[in-house]
């Protein structure tokens, strides 16, 4: 698989002021998702570092991490392992509670979702503060998996999420 000619993905990300609350500038990726060329380019760009191996599974964070993680796993012929919000997975779980700006949340992974030693990439749409990605990494590590990389479509650099993920290899396609 070859990554297409350079494409400016920013042209496919819409700014929505005051969403979900006043003062927030939301980066809406739905225009990118609705454009087959831009979506394919993004998936190819996230996939390309691993075309020659290095991964045993792809872990996608609910929900928009599924949009990029599942096609990445498909293209690499690897298992896709979902990390979901509380109450969404039906089998025996490994769970972690983590801090949000206003309260806490919980992420779950199936306890048999990974085998010890498996090398994984964690995929999500946006790296903001890094809390969700950090929690997903802790779940992977509790299952004795190894986080090889964290992949994001968009990174909101001003929120310093990268600092919270120090020690992990982080790839993002667009930074604001």
- Cite the active site residues: 64, 101
Distance, in Å, from the CA atom of 19 to the CA atom of 27, rounded to the nearest integer, reads 9
Distance, in Å, from the CA atom of 57 to the CA atom of 61, rounded to the nearest integer, reads 13
Beta-bridge partner residues of 147: 120
């Amino acid at each position: 698989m070859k990554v297409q000619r350079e494409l400016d993905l920013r042209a496919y990300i819409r700014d929505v002021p005051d969403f979900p609350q006043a003062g927030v500038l939301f980066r809406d990726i739905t225009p990118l998702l609705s454009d087959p060329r831009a979506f394919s380019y993004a998936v190819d760009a996230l996939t390309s570092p691993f075309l020659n191996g290095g991964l045993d599974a792809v872990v996608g964070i609910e929900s928009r991490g599924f949009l990029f993680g599942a096609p990445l796993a498909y293209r690499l012929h690897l298992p896709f392992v979902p990390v979901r919000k509380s109450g969404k997975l039906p089998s025996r779980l490994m769970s972690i509670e983590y801090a949000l700006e206003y309260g806490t949340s919980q992420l779950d992974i199936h306890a048999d979702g990974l085998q010890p030693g498996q090398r994984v990439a964690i995929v999500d749409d946006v790296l903001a503060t890094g809390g969700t990605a950090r929690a997903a990494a802790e779940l992977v590590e509790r299952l004795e998996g190894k986080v090889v990389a964290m992949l994001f479509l968009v990174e909101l650099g001003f929120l310093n999420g990268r600092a919270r993920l120090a020690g992990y290899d982080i790839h993002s396609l667009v930074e604001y």
